[in-house]
Structure 1
Amino acid sequence: MKKVLLVVFAALLLMVGAACSNDDEASGADGDSIALLMADLGNPFFHVLRDAVVERGEELGYEVLVYDGQNDASRQPSQVEDALQKGVSAIIINPADESSSANALKEAIDKGIPVVTVDRAVDVDGVLSYLVTDNLKGGELVGKWLEGQLPDGGKVIHMEGVMGTAPQRERGGGFLSVIDPNENSESKFEIIGTAVGDFSMAPAEAAMSDLLARHDEIDAVFAQNDTMAVGIARAIETAGRQDEGIIIIGFDGAKEAYDLIEKGEMNVTAVQDFDFIGSEAVNFVDEYLKNGTEPEDFVLVDVYMSDSK
C-alpha cells in the first residue's frame, strides 16, 4: 500500500511541475526572456551582433529568442507579435526599416516591455535606447582615407545599401560630403556611377558587372557594407580586371572582408563594433528590468578604418 501511495504522490508532483513549466513558458512571468529580431542573418556580419546578444543574455540568465527578418521588412511586425505572445520581457531589434514594425513595437512599449533598437532606428516613441554605429562619421572616414590614397583624385563608384535606411543615408552622406565635388568644392574626385546593392552580395555583384561594362576606367569603389564589397570583388575578377588596381572599400569589419584583404582582393573596411553594441543592448535591458535604470536614449559608437584583423 505504501508503494502505491508513493507512486501516486510522485506522479502528482510530476504533473504539477509540468503545469508550472508550461505556465512559465507561456507567460514569461519569471522575466527571463529577450526577443532579438534581426533584419537579415543572411548577412554574415550580423551574426556578430546576434552572437554578442545571445552570449551576454545567457551570461545574465536570459533566454534569447532569435528571429530572422531575411531582409524582408514585412516579416518583422508578425515576429514582434509572436514574441509578445510568448511573453518576452524585452525586445532588442535590428530593424529592417524605420516604419514597418512601428505599430507592433508601440504595442510592446504600451505593455511596459522595454525596446532597444540597434544599428537602425524605428519611428516610434518610447524606445528605451537606440545604439548605433556613427555611420555619418564612418562615411567621412572612408572619404578621408580615399583622399589619402589618391591625393590627385580619381573616378569613383558608390554602391549603396537598402535605400531609405539610416545606414544607407548616413554612410553615403558622410562619404559624399568628402568625395563628391557637388558637396565639397575642394574634391578632386568624380562619382562616375552610383548603384543600389541592397546590402547583399548578389545584387552588388550584378550592379558592379554592369558598371564595369560601361566604364573602362575605375579607380575606387565604396561599398556601404562588406557583403556588397565581396560581390564587387567577384564582379571585378569575373570581368578579368583584378590587375587594374581598383581600390575596394567596405564597411563593417566582417570576416569575409579581412579574408579578401589578406588575399589582396580588397583594400580596407570601416569597422563598426557589433560586439560592443550587442552586449551593451543586453546590459541596458538588464539594468532596466532589475533596477529601473534608464540608459541614454541615443548612443553613438565610433568607427575606425582597418586593413588587418
Structure 2
Amino acid sequence: MRNLKAPLAAAAVAALVLAGCGTTNDRTSDKPQAGASKQCKGADGKYVIGMSQANVAEPYRQRMDDDIKAAAKDVPQFDVKFADAAQDNAKQVADVENYLTQQIDLLIISPNEAKPLTAVVKKAYDKGIPVLVLDRKVEGDAYTGFIGGDNVEIGTEAGKYVAEKLLPQGGNLVELKGLAGATPQAERHQGFVDAIKANPKIKIVADASGDWLREKGQAQMDALLKANPKIDLVYAHNDPMAEGAYLAAKAVHREKEMKFIGIDALPIPSGGIKAVEEGRLSATFTYPTNGKEAIAAAKKILVDCGTIEKTQTLKTRLIDKDNAASIYAEENPTG
C-alpha cells in the first residue's frame, strides 16, 4: 500500500492543477464555482454570446441591451445575439433553448420571473456554458455570476427619503409594484416598507401592480385615484410607472396634491433624471443596467480565461432636484 500512495498523490495534484487552469469542468464539487470556462480559447478565439432579455417594452431593458451592444463593440472576439421574451416566460425559456441548440459560448439572461426560468438556466449551466444573470435573479445558484443592484437597499433608501424628507409629517401613499414573481418587485417593496416604519404617521392606503409598464401604471393609478380621495405620495417601483401615475393624476387635475418617486434614473430624454429635473418626479434612484459589467465579465471568462465573483452588486444613488441637472450632464457630456 505504501508504494501506491505516491502515484495517487501525484494524480490528485495533477487534477487540482488542471482544474486551476480551467481545462476541466468548473463544477468539481456540489457547490458550483464562478470560474474559468472550458470555452476559453484566449484572445485568438471567436465567441457567440446569447442575450435573453425579459422584454424591451421597458426603457430600462432596452438601455441594458444598448449598453451590452456598445460594450461588445470593444471586444472584437464577441458576436452577441439578442432575444426579446416580451414578458412571456414560455418564450424566454424557448429563447434560451434556441441558444443552446446554436451552441453559444456564454449566456446572458435577465429573467422575466425567477421560478419559471430557473430550470433552463440550470440546464445551460450544467452543459458547461457560463451563465451571467443580470438584474433579476433565478432560484438556487446554478449560474456563473449574478450582476445587479441591491434592490432591498434601493427600496430602503427610497423609504428613508420619503419618511425623512418628503413626508416628515406623515401622510397617505400608494405603491405601484412591478411584475409579481420578479425578484426586484419583492425586494423593492420589502426595503421600502421596512424603512418607512421609522415614521408611523405614514400609511400605505393602497397598492397595485403596473408590471413595470407606463401604460399599465397609468391605468392602475386612474383606479387608485377614484378609490382614494387623499393621496400624498406615489412610490413606483420604476420610473415609467411613476410617470404613468403622474399622467393619471394630471388628467384629473390632482398632480399637485401629491409627490411621485420612481427607480431607474436612466440618463435619456424620456428617463427618470429628466423627469426629476422637469418637476414631474420628486426623486428617483439609480439602477445600473449592468450592460458594460456583463461584457467585462464575459471577456474575463472567455478571452482572459479568468474567474469572476459569484455576485457583483452595483450601488444606487439618490437623484432629486438638487443634483438632477448636473448628473444628467455628467452622463451626457456631448449634450
Deviations 1:145-177 (A, max 9, x none): 112222111111111111122100111101000
Deviations 1:124-156 (A, max 9, x none): 543110011111111011111112222111111
Residue matched to 1:195 = 208
Unpaired segments ≥5 residues, structure 2: 1-43, 329-335
SS of the residue aligned with 1:100?
helix
Alignment of 1:118-267 (within 5 A): 118-147=134-163, 148-179=165-196, 184=197, 186-244=199-257, 246-254=258-266, 255=268, 256=270, 257-267=272-282
Percent of aligned pairs with the same amino acid:
28
SS of the residue aligned with 2:82?
strand
Unpaired segments ≥5 residues, structure 1: 1-28
With over 3 angstroms needed to count, the CA separation of the structure-2 counterparts of 1:185 and 1:55, relative to structure 1, is closer
Given that 1:223 and 1:229 are in contact with CA atoms closer than 8 Å, whether structure 2 keeps it comes out as: yes
SS of the residue aligned with 1:117?
strand
Given that 1:31 and 1:89 are in contact with CA atoms closer than 8 Å, whether structure 2 keeps it comes out as: no
Alignment partners' CA distance in 2, 1:209 and 1:298: 39
Given that 2:45 and 2:303 are in contact with CA atoms closer than 8 Å, whether structure 1 keeps it comes out as: no
Given that 1:155 and 1:191 are in contact with CA atoms closer than 8 Å, whether structure 2 keeps it comes out as: yes
Letter in 2 for 1:73: N
Alignment partners' CA distance in 1, 2:311 and 2:79: 25
Deviations 1:11-45 (A, max 9, x none): xxxxxxxxxxxxxxxxxx95421111111101012
Alignment partners' CA distance in 2, 1:192 and 1:300: 32
With over 3 angstroms needed to count, the CA separation of the structure-2 counterparts of 1:79 and 1:96, relative to structure 1, is same
Q: CA deviation at 1:291?
A: 3.6
Alignment partners' CA distance in 2, 1:54 and 1:174: 32
Letter in 2 for 1:282: I
Alignment partners' CA distance in 2, 1:223 and 1:296: 31
1:41 equivalent to 2:56? Answer: yes
Letter in 1 for 2:175: H
SS of the residue aligned with 1:143?
helix
Q: CA deviation at 1:101?
A: 2.4
Alignment of 1:22-37 (within 5 A): 31-37=46-52
Letter in 2 for 1:84: L
Alignment partners' CA distance in 2, 1:33 and 1:81: 15
Given that 1:58 and 1:64 are in contact with CA atoms closer than 8 Å, whether structure 2 keeps it comes out as: no
2:66 to 40, 51, 64: 51
TM-score, structure 2 length as denominator? 0.78
Alignment partners' CA distance in 2, 1:117 and 1:185: 34
Alignment partners' CA distance in 2, 1:146 and 1:217: 17
SS of the residue aligned with 1:96?
coil
1:79 equivalent to 2:67? Answer: no
Alignment of 1:61-72 (within 5 A): 61=76, 62-72=78-88
With over 3 angstroms needed to count, the CA separation of the structure-2 counterparts of 1:87 and 1:176, relative to structure 1, is same
TM-score, structure 1 length as denominator? 0.84
Residue matched to 1:303 = 316
Residue matched to 1:272 = 287
Alignment partners' CA distance in 2, 1:261 and 1:185: 25
SS of the residue aligned with 2:204?
strand
Residue matched to 1:25 = none
Alignment partners' CA distance in 2, 1:262 and 1:155: 24
Letter in 1 for 2:60: F
SS of the residue aligned with 1:264?
coil
Deviations 1:210-262 (A, max 9, x none): 11111121110000011111211111111121232x11000001333233323
**Structure 1 vs Structure 2 CA RMSD:** 1.7
Residue matched to 1:18 = none
Alignment partners' CA distance in 1, 2:178 and 2:162: 19
Alignment partners' CA distance in 2, 1:215 and 1:304: 31
